[in-house]
Structure 1
């Protein structure tokens, strides 16, 4: 294919920088979404992870009451459902981009064990981890040993983030050259479905 055929290939560096910038911004300002198209979906999905991260922190507060924990658990379930739905939405958008690009996929093209949407989700969580380890480095109430441990972990996170970003760009390059086949994998979560979770439908019968 000609070089021009690759113009629609998603740019991973741009997507991950958006995630990193959003984490910083959202800690100072309300969660927002300044993007459209695939970037807008990636930002939406990232926002779910941002909110989940902080709800998970609340769930681990030793001073939280049982009522507070129950409320947090329900919030986590809802956010996690939306997070997984958006992973699929990202993959569906990638399928549409590939289709619209008129790419011919080789008949023997391999399929990846993990979809781009799932990798983007992992990169989102990693950007949150990097930010919060950075916060730990700036604490004034900790010993040097704590700071040293945090810096070591931060270095590992940054290396893993760079490696995963590089691998995702390779996957996109292969998908948009027709060397690999893309497919959205439906996660088909059951726990929030009142017709599939026995704890929910049995409770409704008893009430």
Structure 2
């Protein structure tokens, strides 16, 4: 049901494919369930990463920054909704021991962090190999890349351990709603105050 190695491989493959096709790739892999949700969630993170970069371009017009900010809010909402959907999908298929110790981070949140690490690894690898950069720059990024890979390996191992403990009744997790307010016209005074 949940395998961190399969998830991290999917994230790496999807990241490379999206970059190679300039974001215009549709994944018709036949994935379903948790993997389909993890793929959609990674796609949202990929798009969010690249949308944020658009606002960082020197000299970008203010109107573009406004457009990017609205796109970032939408993508962030999708990202968080998909984290919740992954956790909901898992909790609906589990019979967790209600007295097992509660784990504060959910599998969905861990998959989200793995997704961000996949993007960091990809972009750091690019910088470590960029021929137009100085040797010092490439060397610094080789070191950063090693740390990012170690962090991802550690997190993937923690996800597998959590999952094993949940299945063994030694740990449990709950669905935590993000309760994001920034996109809700009834909850965000910056939005409803203008009406």
Smaller-chain TM-score range? over 0.9
Residue 190 (structure 2) aligns with: 199
1:104 Cα deviation (Å)? 5.4
CA contact (8 A) 1:55 1:75 kept: yes
If you compute each CA radius of gyration, which structure gives the higher value, 1 or 2? 1
Shift of 1:55: 0.6
Is 1:113 matched with 2:104? yes
- Residue 152 of structure 2 is matched in structure 1 by 161
Give a deviation string over 1:107-153, Cα, whole Å, max 9, x none: 53111111110000000000000000111122111111101110010
The answer to whether residue 54 in structure 2 is matched with residue 86 in structure 1 is no
Q: Return the TM-score normalized by structure 1.
A: 0.89
Per the alignment, residue 183 of structure 1 pairs with 174
Q: Aligned partners of 2:93 and 2:122: how far apart in 1?
A: 31
**Could you report, residue by residue, the CA deviation over 1:81-127 in whole angstroms, capped at 9, with x for unpaired residues?**
110010000000110221xxxx451x531111111100000000000
SS, match of residue 111 in structure 1: coil
Partner of 2:51: 55
Equivalent residue of 1:110, what SS?
A: coil
> Separation in 1 of the partners of 2:89 and 2:26?
20
Change (3 A) 1:31 1:111: farther
8 Å contact kept, 2:42–2:112: yes
Of residues 20, 42, 50, the one that matches 1:28 is 20
Query: Where do 5+ consecutive residues of structure 1 fail to align?
Result: 1-7
Contact 2:96 2:166 in 1 (8 A): no
Cα distance between partner residues in 2 of 1:117 and 1:20:
17
CA apart distance, 1:31: 3.7
Q: Show CA shifts across 1:162-197 (max 9, x none).
A: 000000000011111211112110010001000111
What is the alpha-carbon root mean square deviation over aligned residues?
A: 1.1
Matched, 1:72 2:68: yes
Count of residues paired in the alignment: 191
C-alpha separation between the residues in 2 aligned to 1:109 and 1:120? 22
Normalised to the residue count of structure 2, the TM-score between the two structures is 0.94
User: Which residue number in structure 2 is paired with residue 130 of structure 1?
Assistant: 121
- Is the contact between residue 31 and residue 47 of structure 1 (CA under 8 Å) also seen in structure 2? no
Return structure 1 stretches of 4+ with deviation > 4 angstroms: none
